[in-house]
Amino acid sequence: MVIKPLREVEPLERGRIVKVGGRKGIRRRLLDMGVVVGAEVEVQRVAPLGDPLEIRIKGYNLALRLEEADNIQIEIFEGKL
């Protein structure tokens, strides 16, 4: 079982959120947007300038910066992409 911060998840890798941390403001914002423990996540792409990230979660696409992605821990699904 591999757990790593969302920042290090490669595009098209999928996983499940195991922890949402960070300071009050950012954590609340993430929770509001459906970034909660147990949600499945697939990294879609990185913006042309290298930041932010685009992820697919709960059936929609969400953009967030790498520094915000550091607050999220992902358990990577093994096997096929």
Query: Applying CB under 8 A, which residues contact another protein?
Result: 20, 24-39, 44-52, 54, 56, 58-65, 68
Choose between 39 and 76: whose C-beta lies nearer to another protein: 39
CA 55 to chain CA centroid, nearest Å: 6
Choose between 26 and 76: whose C-beta lies nearer to another protein: 26
Q: Least distance in Å: CB of 37 to another protein?
A: 6
Burial code (b: 16+ CB inside 10 Å, e: under 16) for 34-69 equals: ebeeeeebbbeeeeeeeebbebebeeeebebebebb
Q: Least distance in Å: CB of 53 to another protein?
A: 10
Q: Least distance in Å: CB of 43 to another protein?
A: 13
Choose between 50 and 79: whose C-beta lies nearer to another protein: 50
Q: What distance in Å separates the CA atoms of residue 20 and residue 75, rounded to the nearest whole number?
A: 12
Q: What distance in Å separates the CA atoms of residue 2 and residue 45, rounded to the nearest whole number?
A: 20
